[in-house]
Amino acid sequence: MLGTFGWNDGFASSFRIYAEQGFVPARVVVEEKDAFVVRTADGEGHARLAGRFRQRRLGEDSLPTVGDFVALDVREGDWSLVQGVLPRETAFIRSDPSRATMTQVLAANFHTVWIFASLTAELSARRVEHFLTVAWNSGAQPVVVLTKADLDAASADRVAEIESVAVGCPTHVTSSVTGEGVDELREHLDGNRTAVIVGSSGVGKSTLVNYLLQEERIATQPTRADDVGRHTTTHRELVLLPEGGMIIDTPGLREIGIWSIDGTDTLYEDVTNLASECKFSNCKHRTEPGCAIKAAIEAGDLDANHLKVYEKMLREMAFLARRQKDRGGIEWRRGNKRLSDRAQTRKGYKPEDIEL
């Protein structure tokens, strides 16, 4: 039954219009370009996008991704066709690293975002904070998972450093060797809930998933001596755990572009509250007199690096807004040129025949 895979009354209500057309509901469990492995009430199958669905798409974020519930046109002896995507309850979205003005949906319809970080040499509170910003935007609850607690490099100071930036988020110290903290993680999956896991390569994501699966299903590689991670997972996949609940495993992400700053009030509430107390409304928090943020940093009440991450996020969003505006102008000019070309062609001559 699809209930094991997270199907609920909300999705059933959205699916009624597709049910009237004879389609069946399915959840995407693997995405590989335009091909998908999907799960229906009858089992797993393969699907591709229907031609009319591909033609009407408005952007990459309208295409199915792992975790989506879709309307499926099942065809015996052939590939089924995805005819629609149900509205998402949550979505993990980043700016596409190859196209600065486009979004990339990494996963959909999950309840928690597990942000993995290793308690070893590569641990970076700033990187965790960056992931937290995107995780809050997803609409789900972020959860910080600190791995490799069994290694000598792990320390209480490292845990405290992460907890200081993970405001409003549960933080779990775990080990796939000893099993420390794993039972607490499982509690986030009660009731057939879904978690998406993100983090840099080599932090132990796949190893912990295998521990939860109770089998070596996902390939793993040892990290290098300097603890630099290696890519293991090459695609996104939703896996059902034997004790219930689902995990969406994702490839390692060293950088993750911010697409929106909505939902990050909790994470940067200390900065925004202090900024409202500055003497000048346009305070840059550098040399201006009466700066509440500068005073808090000098008094040790605010971490200067925390402010830097917040300012970097704002710069990133401002840059993206400029790129979107420039891109919009380019597309507008291209659209006008296409319309002009079509009009001239209908008159019996081609645009290249015009003498300028």
CATH of the domain at 25: 2.40.50.140
53 and 199 share one domain: no
13 and 154 share one domain: no
pLDDT at 105: 84
DSSP annotation of 87 reads P
78 and 34 share one domain: yes
36 and 81 share one domain: yes
Report if residue 141 sits inside a domain: yes
Domain with 159, as residue range(s), is 91-249
Report if residue 222 sits inside a domain: yes
Report the distance separating Cα 186 and Cα 107, nearest Å: 20
274 and 197 share one domain: no
Report if residue 303 sits inside a domain: no
Task: List the beta strands (DSSP E) in 202-346.
Answer: 237-240, 246-249
Report if residue 310 sits inside a domain: no
User: Which of 282, 283, 310 minimizes the C-alpha distance to 295?
Assistant: 283
User: In total, how many domains does the chain have?
Assistant: 3
96 and 75 share one domain: no
Which domain-ending residue is among 192, 217, 249? 249
**CATH number of the domain that 180 lies in?**
3.40.50.300
pLDDT at 346: 46
112 and 80 share one domain: no
Report if residue 318 sits inside a domain: no
pTM > 0.95: yes or no: no
Q: Give 306-338 pLDDT, tens digit per residue.
A: 777 777 777 766 655 665 565 555 444 555 555
Reduce the DSSP state of residue 51 to 3 states and report it.
Answer: helix
pLDDT at 226: 46
All residue ranges of the chain with pLDDT < 50 are 58, 100-101, 224-231, 233, 254, 257-259, 330-332, 339, 343-356
Report if residue 335 sits inside a domain: no
pLDDT at 11: 96
pLDDT at 96: 56
pLDDT at 283: 87
109 and 234 share one domain: yes
pLDDT at 259: 45
214 and 101 share one domain: yes
189 and 168 share one domain: yes
H-run or E-run covering 5: none
Integer distance in angstroms from the first to the last C-alpha of the chain?
Answer: 67
Q: Is 323 exposed, middle or buried (0-12, 13-18, 19+ CB in 10 A)?
A: middle
Reduce the DSSP state of residue 280 to 3 states and report it.
Answer: coil
111 and 239 share one domain: yes
pLDDT at 341: 54
242 and 96 share one domain: yes
Report if residue 352 sits inside a domain: no
Which domain-ending residue is among 59, 85, 111? 85
Report if residue 344 sits inside a domain: no
